[in-house]
A and B are shown apart, each in its own frame.
Chain A
Amino acid sequence: GAVVSQHPSRVICKSGTSVKIECRSLDFQATTMFWYRQFPKQSLMLMATSNEGSKATYEQGVEKDKFLINHASLTLSTLTVTSAHPEDSSFYICSASNSAYGYTFGSGTRLTVV
């Protein structure tokens, strides 16, 4: 149990375009999901907390207008990187919590902006 599906796993986009990443909890409901960003050979940094039916809570330094988060249902949260630039290239990973299994992570999305 407690499976989180994230896709796409890999995306290449042109500079200036927008990219949407989906995170789904497959076998449980998640009122809260988390979005992380990971730079090469570094740890995971929390970007924002996604709350079902309300606005996301962003960490300090994260541009909420660039990284749009929508948590429209108890099983789906989306992260949209708007007007992407090469410096947005990174590994993005989502997480959802379950009382029995703790935090479960999606498989991540490697974004490359060219």
Chain B
Amino acid sequence: GIQVEQSPPDLILQEGANSTLRCNFSDSVNNLQWFHQNPWGQLINLFYIPSGTKQNGRLSATTVATERYSLLYISSSQTTDSGVYFCAVSGGSYIPTFGRGTSLIVHP
């Protein structure tokens, strides 16, 4: 199956800082999504982005499918951004495979 690697595994920021999270995948994909898991465990879909660039407020994402990576940008981070960010991809099987996640802590 497809291998998914996320980096960094842990990230600590001061409120207001910017950050970039990376997701590398080992094969061609037909779906890629970024999720935020809040402290209560709920998974929130951030972006459905198998290719291209999307923006939603302070968050944006870029997927370069030909080079097999995706980036999630968080600008002007807030304490509510804390949590775990997962990248999930699916290829021919259409079953999403998750990376190990990036744990983000934003301090006030």
A residues touching B (Cβ–Cβ < 8 Å)? 32, 34, 36, 38, 41-44, 46, 49, 91, 93, 95, 97, 101-105, 107-108, 110
Contact = CB atoms under 8 A, between A and B. Distances in A.
A95 B96 contact: yes
Given A102-B33, A103-B88, A44 B98 contact: yes
B80 to A, nearest CB: 17
A97 B94 contact: yes
Interface residues of B, number: 20
Nearest to A41: B103
A102 B45 contact: yes
Contacts of A34: 95-96
Given A44-B86, A103-B88, A93 B95 contact: no
Given A44-B88, A44-B98, A93-B43, 8 more contacts: A32-B94, A43-B99, A43-B100, A103-B96, A104-B45, A105-B35, A107-B41, A108-B41
Interface of B: 31, 33, 35, 41-43, 45, 48, 86, 88, 90, 94-101, 103
15 contacts: A43-B99, A44-B88, A93-B41, A93-B43, A97-B94, A101-B45, A102-B45, A102-B48, A103-B88, A103-B96, A105-B43, A105-B45, A107-B43, A108-B43, A110-B41
A43 B48 contact: no
Nearest to A104: B45
Contacts of B45: 101-105
Nearest to B4: A43
A43 B43 contact: no
